[in-house]
Amino acid sequence: MSSPDVQELLDTNSAVVPESLALTLPREKLEWMLGKMCETRYFEEKAEELYTRGLVHGTMHLSIGMEASPIGSIAALEPDDLIVNHHRGHGHTIAKGADITTMMGEFLGKEPGYCRGRGGSMHIVDIAHGNMGATGVVGSGIPIAVGVALALQMKHSAQVVLCFFGDGATNEGAFHESLNLASIWALPVVFICDNNHYGMSMSYRHSMNISKISVRAGAYGIPGFTVDGNNVLAVYQTVKECVDWARAGKGPSLVENLTYRWRGHSKSDRNLYRTPQEIQEWMQRCPIKRFKQLLRDSQIMSEQETETIDQRAKETIDRAAELAVQMPEPTPENMEDEVYAP
Amino acid sequence: MSSPDVQELLDTNSAVVPESLALTLPREKLEWMLGKMCETRYFEEKAEELYTRGLVHGTMHLSIGMEASPIGSIAALEPDDLIVNHHRGHGHTIAKGADITTMMGEFLGKEPGYCRGRGGSMHIVDIAHGNMGATGVVGSGIPIAVGVALALQMKHSAQVVLCFFGDGATNEGAFHESLNLASIWALPVVFICDNNHYGMSMSYRHSMNISKISVRAGAYGIPGFTVDGNNVLAVYQTVKECVDWARAGKGPSLVENLTYRWRGHSKSDRNLYRTPQEIQEWMQRCPIKRFKQLLRDSQIMSEQETETIDQRAKETIDRAAELAVQMPEPTPENMEDEVYAP
Amino acid sequence: MTETGGREVTFLEAVREAMVQEMRRDPTVFLMGEDIGIYGGAFGVSKGMLDEFGPERVRETPISEAGFTGVATGAALMGMRPIVEIMFLDFITLAMDALVNQAAKMRFMFGGNASIPLVCRAPSGSGTGAAAQHSQSLEAWFINAPGIKVVAPSSAYDAKGLLTTAIRDNNPVLFIEHKLLYRTKGAVPENSYTIPFGKAEVRRQGKDITIIAYSIMAQRALEAATRLAEEGIEAEVVDPRTLKPLDVETIVGSVAKTGRALIVHEAPVTGGFGGELTSAIVESHAFDYLDAPVRRLGGRNIPIPYNRTLERASVPQVEDIVETARALAREGK
Amino acid sequence: MTETGGREVTFLEAVREAMVQEMRRDPTVFLMGEDIGIYGGAFGVSKGMLDEFGPERVRETPISEAGFTGVATGAALMGMRPIVEIMFLDFITLAMDALVNQAAKMRFMFGGNASIPLVCRAPSGSGTGAAAQHSQSLEAWFINAPGIKVVAPSSAYDAKGLLTTAIRDNNPVLFIEHKLLYRTKGAVPENSYTIPFGKAEVRRQGKDITIIAYSIMAQRALEAATRLAEEGIEAEVVDPRTLKPLDVETIVGSVAKTGRALIVHEAPVTGGFGGELTSAIVESHAFDYLDAPVRRLGGRNIPIPYNRTLERASVPQVEDIVETARALAREGK
Ligand SMILES: Cc1ncc(C[n+]2csc(CCOP(=O)(O)OP(=O)(O)O)c2C)c(N)n1
Ligand SMILES: Cc1ncc(C[n+]2csc(CCOP(=O)(O)OP(=O)(O)O)c2C)c(N)n1
Ligand SMILES: [Mg+2]
Ligand SMILES: [Mg+2]
């Protein structure tokens, strides 16, 4: 396994992966990918709406436009594989099998939510589906994922863990220490950088003096790849290779999915650090539109079929939101009893 | 400037630098190098002796066998350039111009010592000579050195700072964050790794999955070099190039000086993690003996001349120790008044 | 108190004004932190500063708190006066070595051969629905770390004056800005001014009970005191303003007068700054005048939850202060 | 107290024995840290453990405190029971995010869907001439961080029993080992045993004054009590053993009996755990029985200096405890 020489993937705006990959994958897999991407998109649009209606207390981090990275990555997992998530993690949570209503409930701070309303959007955990939770401290999930991988290795498990983080997170010391530890112990973890080009407002081209984050893999003697992160199949293919590599006991690797967030960093963002053109250009590269087009072009699905999946996703989200809004609120008694495990 | 392809420098046990370099350097420079290396060696032998005699309270970290790295590096500086030092820093302190008696006084915890006996061996500071002090927390001096470099840049100074640390320190997050910051701001700092092959007991070949630490430079887009760190001229030449590069405003670089400590990590070390043969082999590569030999072979100095320098160094140390032992102890009154600057 | 000529600005603007005026006055002062440039910082504190001072002095950093706080320490060692913004006080967990082991200790450890004029600004506290990792009040840690001063203003006026003092101080200073105070307004003179460290402010006079509270809790204590007055309880509200150095004299003097002390802070009550305040009172002559035990009202001993109701119930609110003060005022009577 | 059959071991051996026995008993327990393998750890605590358990379970790490403490947190989340050794407590400054923001908060923040059975062992304190960055006593920070327990044993017997309890506890536990205690000996049963958290030990009965002290200060307090007895002052020495949870009842009961309380710790007095203890006493019914103010004797508010004389003068010694206790015992009489 060695890094491909990916040249400015984004300028080509085309899949490096042969479209024929789509033909080799089971149809349900492709349907699943499209469905989860649509669910993620609609979940976040709904989240925005609920926020605007004043139903959400707190901040949120939307990944609209970035859906191919988490969904293509998680598509490469077996069901009992694991993930460790970060603050911009709605797509990851959905792809890993979360019940959308429970998830929406957590987003709204409700008692039946995934964290009983204690965590919120940034900390959704879903152990049953292998989502080991998310931290809001940038980079701090990386060592935790390495610890998850260490436990897997010590238990002689065949499972693999995907560790998600952003471009900005790779400048934290936690990134460095963690990749080094995972490498010397050959742990079954794939590090996935959702490179959406910015931290909060700082372009990764200014936050580091290298043009590809994947070169950082070299500092740990592990493979590194840069992928067109708006091409769900390209993401899938590369991550699959890395997951197989990890499962075979060959250790960690680093995948950088180049993508872009259409919305601001969070609700306080006035988008002053980037141009409307840049955002427009990236909206042209919508990962969902591109995937639908590919499915049609390769005659795997008709427009009607892709739109049915799309519509079903929308309905799932709408229904979940309706139910979640009516969920009961938690009450503050005895919270002290929740801090320590018995 | 690009990394030379240095192949297992150590197995050759020979200078990559043409010996003719010695011929192009002023004689005083060569005398200075030899003198400082000898002073460092004798200082540490004396330190050991004082320790054994029970005159030292605390630990100490000896660099016997490693003298070429700090002295060759600092030889590349102008007098008003700066250094930030680490816990194994006697050679650096001496090379940067410290008064040996004052330094020995600090080692003994005396009031006239460099830190008035408050710091000890691990924290010697000598601002007047551009030694900005040392930290005992592994890796923590690296961001401080970057801050020193930032101040230099903001003041439009032509000065350069050398930042010293060990192989083990490069696994700390501080290393990563600091080199990244120095790189994006193109700061006048040269990062110098005194790679003595071990942390306390962990070989760098186990603490990381790469064979040369200098490859880590690639993660920050800066030049990186691996040098025979027991060849004072090789160290000098490479660091000089890097200092010039920094002074020209081209930013930081990383130099890895491959060397070895003959003694244990500190006094508690029983040397169980390495073989007597390994230590023996490295003692054959004594940087002082090699430099003397080179000076004689290239007929720059006679044996008598090198031994005169050596002898003078020994006398300097002996005299310093005699004086330092008699220095007054500090007294504990009003220490609270020393914590905050007025 | 300086004349303000009726001018009112927000706490946030007051913080910015102190920075801007000091940066105009002293070329060695500069600001460093994440997204402080065109974004203006997560809370907008540095909005506009990039335009005036440029990217050299409004220096954006990658997400590297340990790194840039260490860098600030090194720059301060060289005589610069960096102001570091930690986006949320919670992330100071990443910079504890730089602040506590390095910046705070260097002067002493180097035998007086260094001074570190470094200000670390950080927004603290809950109330914005940001949950456990973005809502903490960690001031107590720094009280037990010799070498660093701790400031926690409760008003726009104090924020400007104390930050100006902090920037001119030759030592590391942790400057805590409660997020919910940012939008509060107060009278603030346009001209630069300083407020000395170690001088508490008696925000309200009273004879029945002393409430000691800082940062946002000083504001809540004042509201509580107004309500208590309606019930005939006259509370004296003392705001220490700087937690280290601490104005023990003013606090003790007030408690000796009223005979009752209630300490209020947002941090979890156990291990919070309240214990230090209690000790300061109990170890003083005020002990002899105490008509009731010194009481602490702090945050609950839990991480801050996300849900709004839970979050509100986690830290002292005005009504909690009223209730506790009322009970304490009656105790032993 | 379990029968020891006259067997004596050092504090250090007791710590090792607890780890070894738990590792034999439970395959999910493992040790992680720097130089813990063939070197045996900086203080020799894990000497020999590599031979018995191999490099998987005596897992040496590169110098990456933040990283491996986070790794331990992740492993604990998966049901492993990591013991992390931080070579010097001072370096916990590098792992504050992992411990406080992550490990301590996960259970609550995840709505109960996680538990983090993690022990973090760290040698604390001064007395070895290692100066400011290798001599700190940072326990107070963790008292104010809900979600993590804090243990500070003063004897070999307690070290073994409390560490065994810590390893079996389903939560993060900070286990503080004073360096100067390592070589002290005490009666320790060979068999495994636990000591419950939250139970103080009255190390000596007395009627004139209560001295509350933990870790090495409990030993010094006992020595001081012996000397005080020669002067006719009968001091009761209470060792809380676990600082969180804290056995308020025993402490308060003793103070209510003696009417006088002296708190001793090594950490700088200002902002140290002493304030919390003072509050616990003052807020209790013992307040009514106090014949004198609660006093704290802590370390001086300075970084620890290198020089032996200065270092010794920086933290309470036996004679300081004797003096302060004597004065307090006489106060108000
Ligand atoms: C340690 C830390 N520093 C700063 C922040 C504030 N913050 C939240 S998200 C973010 C940007 C993160 O950038 P990146 O890693 O690229 O992820 P993205 O938000 O782009 O998905 C910042 C600075 C934080 N949460 N944690
Ligand atoms: C943060 C931190 N962790 C651990 C230590 C203990 N320690 C002191 S020196 C050392 C080894 C450092 O190795 P390296 O960086 O290679 O420097 P060397 O000692 O070999 O010169 C260790 C682990 C420390 N001082 N600081
Ligand atoms: Mg990003
Ligand atoms: Mg080394």
User: Which atom of ligand 1 lies nearest, measured to the CA of A261?
Assistant: 20
The band of D3, judged by pLDDT with boundaries at 50, 70 and 90, is low
Closest residue in D to A111 (Cα) is: D111
Instruction: Quote the CA–CA distance of A165 and B203 in Å, as a whole number.
Output: 30
Instruction: Look at A144 and D102 and tell me if their CB atoms are within 8 Å.
Output: yes
pLDDT above 80 for D116 = yes
Q: At what angle do helices A173-184 and D65-77 cross, to 10 degrees?
A: 70
Cα B340 to Cα C169: distance, rounded to the nearest angstrom: 10
In the predicted model, residues of chain A with pLDDT beneath 70 are 1-18
Q: Which CATH number fits domain D201-330: 3.30.365.10, 3.20.20.120, 3.50.50.60, 3.40.50.920?
A: 3.40.50.920
Residue C333 has pLDDT above 80, yes or no: no
Return the structure tokens found at A244.
């197989």
Say which CATH superfamily domain D8-187 falls into: Thiamin diphosphate (ThDP)-binding fold, Pyr/PP domains (3.40.50.970)
Cis peptide leading into residue C172 (ω within 30°): no
Q: pLDDT tens digits, residue range B31-88? A: 999 999 999 999 999 999 999 999 998 888 999 999 999 999 999 999 999 999 999 9
C-chain CB neighbours of A268 within 8 Å are 42-44
Tell me the per-residue pLDDT of D121-169, one tens digit each, with 9 for 90 and over: 999 999 999 999 999 999 999 999 999 999 999 999 999 999 999 999 9
Other Cβ atoms within 10 Å of B157 Cβ, number:
17
> Which residues, 6 or more positions from B328, have their beta carbon under 8 angstroms from its beta carbon?
B110, B111, B112
C45 close to C53: Cβ distance less than 8 angstroms: no
Look at residue B267 in the predicted model and tell me its pLDDT.
81
C13-44: pLDDT as tens digits: 999 999 999 999 999 999 999 999 999 999 99
Give C29's strand partners: C81
Pocket-forming residues, ligand 1, beta carbon under 6 Å: A 61, 87-88, 136-138, 165-169, 194, 196, 198-200, 265; C 34, 63, 65, 87, 91, 94
Residue-level pLDDT at C262 = 98
Domain chopping of chain C, boundaries? 8-187, 201-330
For C318, counting Cβ atoms within 10 Å of its Cβ (0-12 exposed, 13-18 middle, 19+ buried), the class is: middle
pLDDT score for B21: 85
Cβ neighbours around B128 below 10 Å, total: 12
Task: Please give the pLDDT value at position C153.
Answer: 98
pLDDT at B9: 46
Of C322, C81, C77, C119, whose CA–CA distance to C222 is shortest? C322
For residue C91, give the nearest of A57, A137, A335 by CB distance.
A137
Three-state secondary structure call for residue C125 = coil
Q: Is the pLDDT of residue D45 over 80?
A: yes
* Interface pTM, i.e. ipTM: 0.97
Q: Which residues surround ligand 4, an ion (CB under 5 A)?
A: B 166-167, 196
To the query of whether residue D285 is one of the catalytic residues in this protein, the response is no
Cα A26 from Cα A85, distance rounded (Å): 27
Bridge-partner residues for C120, per DSSP?
C84, C174
Q: Give me the count of residues in chain A.
A: 342
Check if the beta carbon of residue B76 is closer than 8 Å to that of residue B26. no
Task: Give the per-residue pLDDT at B118.
Answer: 98
Predicted pLDDT of residue B18? 60
Per-residue pLDDT tens for D288-312? Answer: 999 999 999 999 999 999 999 999 9
pTM of the shown model: 0.97
pLDDT for D234 equals 98
**pLDDT number for residue B10:** 42
Tally the C-alpha atoms within 13 A of residue B25's C-alpha that lie toward its C-beta.
26
Contact D74 A340 (CB under 8 A): no
**Encoding tokens for residue C80?**
């610069």
B324 token code pair: 């330092």
Residue of C81, C80, C40 lying closest to C60 (CA atoms) = C40
Residue D266 sits at the chain B interface (C-beta within 8 Å):
no
Three-class SS state of D177: strand
D positions 56-115 inside 8 Å of A (CB)? 56, 61-62, 64, 66-80, 82, 97-98, 101-102, 106-115
Q: CB within 8 A of C169, min separation 6: which ones?
A: C117, C119, C149, C197
Q: What is the pLDDT of residues B268-289, one digit of tens each?
A: 888 999 999 999 999 999 999 9
The response to whether residue B136 sits with its C-beta less than 6 Å from ligand 2 reads yes
Q: Out of C13, C22, C85, C134, which one is annotated catalytic?
A: C134
CA angle, corner A133, sides to A129 and A134, nearest 5? 140
**Neighbour count for residue B32 (Cβ, 10 Å):** 17
Chain-wide mean pLDDT for chain D?
A: 97
* Contact by Cβ (8 Å): D223, D263: no
Are residues C70 and B123, on separate chains, in Cβ contact within 8 Å? no
Question: C262: part of which helix (H) or strand (E)?
Answer: strand C261-268
Same fold, C8-187 and C201-330: yes
pLDDT tens-digit map of C188-220:
999 999 999 999 999 999 999 999 999 999 999
Task: Identify which of A126, C296, A135 has the alpha carbon closest to the alpha carbon of residue D104.
Answer: A135
Asked if B142 and D63 count as a contact pair (C-beta separation under 8 A), the reply is no
Angstrom distance (rounded) from CA D195 to CA D155:
12
Q: What is the pLDDT of residue D4?
A: 62
For ligand 2, say whether the CB of B169 is within 6 Å of any of its atoms.
Answer: yes
- In tens, the pLDDT along D89-111 reads 999 999 999 999 999 999 999 99
Given a cut of 70, the residues of chain B with pLDDT beneath it are 1-18
C303 touching chain A per CB within 8 A: yes
Which CATH code fits B6-326? 3.40.50.970
pLDDT on residue A9:
46
Q: pLDDT at position C2, please? A: 54
Q: What is the 3-state secondary structure (H, E, C) of C163-222?
A: HHHHHHCCCCEEEEEEHHHCCCEEECCCCCCCCCCCCCEEEECCCCEEEEECCHHHHHHH
Cα-trace Rg, chain D = 20
Mean pLDDT of C105-125: 98
Work out the percent of chain D whose per-residue pLDDT is above 90.
97
- The contacts of residue A146 (CB under 8 Å, 6+ apart) are A163, A178, A181, A182, A187, A189, D67, D70, D71, D74
Asked whether residue C63 carries a pLDDT value surpassing 90, the answer given is yes
Q: Does A339 touch chain C (CB under 8 A)?
A: yes
DSSP assignment letter at A169: G
Domain residue ranges in chain B: 6-326
Closest CA to A37 of A72, A88, A84, A10: A72
